[in-house]
Amino acid sequence: MSEETIFSKIIRQEIPTPLLYQDELVTAFRDISPRVDSHILIVPNKHIATINDVTSDDELTLGRMITVAKRLAKEEGIDENGYRLIINCNSDGGQEVYHIHMHLLGGQPLGSMLSL
Ligand code: 5GP
């Protein structure tokens, strides 16, 4: 598995970043460069580089990412209008930070799923 990224330092608060949620499995904080009105990252506390690296041992963590996304969408007030969850993988998927993370995107109409 590759080296830790900046996300591990945020999770451990070695780089102070306001956290929206943290438990024993996942951490959530706002994207530093929001693409839409509400742009949150939900990240496993354990360093996993890409979705290609997950195993069955990670299933609880991956499920927690979804339930935390649901909770944060409600807290953001975007649950009723809707939102999008995205996990990018490797270069064709547009992954920039090699510590898996789910983007929670909403607060405005998001348009079509892809613009290539
Ligand atoms: P990816 O392209 O890997 O799916 O998304 C990485 C995301 O992490 C980008 O949206 C980028 O803006 C965000 N990001 C990168 N570095 C930092 C950081 O130091 N703090 C926060 N809060 N977000 C970051």
Please give the order of strands across the beta sheet that includes 102-106: 19-22, 26-30, 38-44, 102-106, 83-86
Separation CA 94–CA 74 (nearest Å): 27
* Residue 47 scores a pLDDT above 80: yes
31 C-beta neighbours (distance < 10 Å), count: 15
Mean pLDDT of 94-109: 98
Element (H, E) at 27: strand 26-30
Identified catalytic residue from 39, 47, 99, 101: 101
Say what the pTM is. 0.97
**With bands split at pLDDT 50, 70 and 90, how would you rate the model's confidence at 97?**
very high
Q: Which pair of tokens denotes residue 57?
A: 């041992």
Per-residue model confidence (pLDDT) at position 102: 98
Q: Atom of ligand 1 at shortest distance to CA of 39?
A: 10
Mutating to test ligand 1, I would choose from 31, 51, 87, 104 the residue with most ligand atoms within 8 A of its C-beta, which is 31
**With bands split at pLDDT 50, 70 and 90, how would you rate the model's confidence at 116?**
confident
Separation CA 69–CA 90 (nearest Å): 22
User: Which DSSP letter does residue 58 get?
Assistant: G
Q: In 3D, which of 58, 57, 70 has the Cα closest to residue 28?
A: 70
Mean pLDDT of 6-13: 98
Per-residue model confidence (pLDDT) at position 2: 65
Q: How far does CA 26 lie from the centroid of its chain?
A: 9
Per-residue model confidence (pLDDT) at position 3: 87
* Residue 29 scores a pLDDT above 60: yes
**Annotation says 101 is catalytic:** yes
